[in-house]
Amino acid sequence: MNASSTYGLSTQARNLQWLLTDLVEEVPGVNSVAVVSSDGLLLLSSDPVVPDPPATPSAGSRPSGPRGASADLATIVSGLGSLTTGAAALMDGGSVKQTMVAMEHGSVFVMSISDGSLLGVHATPDCDMSVVAYHMALFVGRAGHVLTPEVRSELRQSMENTP
3-state DSSP of 99-134: EEEEECCEEEEEEECCCCCEEEEEECCCCCHHHHHH
By mean pLDDT, which of 24-38, 51-65, 110-124, 138-152 is the weakest?
A: 51-65
Predicted structure pTM score: 0.82
On average, the pLDDT of the chain sits at: 83
What pLDDT, in 10s, does the model give residues 108-132?
999 999 878 999 999 999 999 999 9
What confidence tens digit (pLDDT) does each residue in 42-78 have? 999 987 544 444 444 444 444 443 345 778 899 999 9
